[in-house]
Amino acid sequence: ETYFSLLEDHLTFEFLGIHFEESVQDVINDGLMAIFFFIVGLEIKRELVIGDLRNPRAAALPVERFGPGPKPVIARAPGRVNLIGEHTDYNDGYVLPFAIDRYTEVAVRPRSDRKLLAHAAAYGTTFSATLPLERAARKGDWSDYLIGILRELSAYRELEFGFEAAIAGDIPLGAGLSSSASLEVGLAVALTRLYGIEIAALELVKLCQRAESGFVGMPCGIMDQYAVYFAEANRALLLDTRSLTHRPVPLELGGTTFLVVDSRVRRRLAGSGYTDRRRECEAAVRWLAEAFPERGIRSLRDVDGTLVDSVRGEMPEALWKRAAHVVGENARVLAAVEALGRGHAEEVGKLLYASHASLRDMFEVSTPELDFLVDWGLSHGALGARLVGGGFGGVTLHLVLAEGKGTYLAELRRAYRAKFGLEAQAWEVRPAPGAARL
C-alpha cells in the first residue's frame, strides 16, 4: 500500500515500509494546500490532511480514504472574517467581510449507481443515502448542509448518479468564521461541476443561502456565502445586502496585521439567541412601519439615527436596542471604508471597539469571555478589537501592530487561561481569495 499525507510543512511517504520525507515549503508558498494521488488499478489509501501551515498547534484533519476510482472534482472555499457590520446583513444593511486563509476542501467523484457516500473528517462520520432526496429529513448534523445543497441542485436538473465525497478543513467549527458557509459553497462549487450544472455566480451564492435558511433551518443573511465566494486577496468587500452588489476595498494599513482569537466557547446558531435577535429586528421594523407609515419602512436599512433616537422610551426597549445597533453599525461600516481609504488604522480600530460595545450593550450577543478578550486588547495596545460572527461565543478579531504580535498573543493567551482556565487558540489571518476549483 502507498500512503500520502500532507502535514504541517513536510510531505511524508510510506512505501513498502520505507519512509521518505521531503520539505514542501516551496509548494506551500505557491498556495497548494492539498494533493490527491489517484493511481488506477492499485489499492490506494489517500489521506488529505489540512492544517494551518503557520501554526503547529492546529490539528491536522484527515479526510475519508478512497479506493481506486475516477478522478475527483476538488473545490476549496475559505472561511471569512467580518471586519465590521455585524447583524446587518439580514437587515438589508452594509457589511465589510474578507475571506481568510483557512479553508474547507471538498473532493467528489461519480459513482455508477445512485448511492451517496460523504465523509467529513472534522466529525469523523460518514453520511450515506440514495438519490433522490426529496423526502430526506434533517439529521441535526453536518450532513444537513449537504442534503440542503443537493435538494437545491435538483431543482436545476435531475441528479442521475451518486458520488463519493471527502471533506476536510482547518476552519474552527462554531467559532464565527463561517465554517458552514465555507462547506456549503465548497460543496456547491464541486457538485455543479460534477453534475454539469451551469449556474451564475450570484445564483450559486443564493442557492447556498437557501440551503441553510431552508433545509438546515438557520435563518441566515447572505453575507457569509457571498464573501466566501466573491472574496479577493488583500481586500475586503463592501457588500450592500439590499442590492447584492459589492465593491472591493483594499486592506492596506501599513505595519498592522489581523489576529483572530478563539474563545473556545461554542454555540449553535440555530439553537441560540441568534434567531431571537433576527425576530426582534423584524418586530422592530413592524413597530416603526406602523408608527411612521409615510416613510415606507421595509427594513432597518430604511431607518436613520435621528428616527431611532426620537422613539426611545416609546418603542419596547429590547426592540429599540436592536434597531439602534443596526442603524449605528451601518454607519460604522461606511466610516470604516472611508478610514481604510485614507489608511487610518487608528480610526478603523476605534470603529471596531465601538462595534463591540454596541454588540455587547445594544444587541446583547457578547459573553464574559469575548468581553475579556476585547477589553484586554484595549488595555494592551491593540488598535481595535471586537467579537466576530453571530455572538454567544466564537472568536474576536484584533487589529494590532505587526511588530510585537507574537508577544501580544502570548500574553493574551496567558491572561485568558488565568481568568477562565481555557486555552485561547489564536492565529494571524490574511485576506484570501474566494472559492475555486483546484
Q: Are 363 and 277 in contact (CB under 8 A)?
A: yes
Instruction: Give the number of other Cβ atoms within 10 Å of residue 347's Cβ.
Output: 17
Calculate ∠ Cα 107-105-127, nearest 5°.
60
- Active-site residues, by number, are 224
> Looking at residue 202, what is its pLDDT?
97
Q: Scanning the structure block, which residue is given the C-alpha cell 426597549?
A: 317
DSSP E strand stretches across 111-159: 115-120, 125-130
The 10 Å CB-count burial string (b at 16+, else e) for 62-86 is: bbbebeeeeebbbbbbbbbbbbbbb
Please count the residues of the chain: 438
In contact, 152 and 136? CB cutoff 8 Å: no
Residue 66, pLDDT score? 58
Q: What is the pLDDT of residue 268?
A: 57
- Beta 245-250 vs 235-240: how paired, if at all? antiparallel
d(CA 80, CA 183) in angstroms, rounded, equals 12
Distance CA 341, CA 224 (A): 23
Q: Residue 100 corresponds to which cell in the numbers above?
A: 481568510
Return the ∠ at Cα 219 (arms to 291 and 294), rounded to 5°: 20
Residue 88, C-alpha cell as written in the block? 446587518
Beta pairing, strands 235-240 & 94-95:
antiparallel
Query: What number does CATH give the domain 256-432?
Result: 3.30.70.890
- What ranges do the domains of the chain cover? 1-55, 256-432
In a 3-state reduction of DSSP, which class is residue 259? strand
pLDDT attached to residue 218: 82
67 touches 43 (CB < 8 A) = yes
Residues of the chain with pLDDT under 70: 1-66, 267-272
Quickly list DSSP for 348-366.
Answer: HHHHHHHHHHHHHHTS---
How many whole angstroms separate alpha carbon 91 and alpha carbon 283? 12
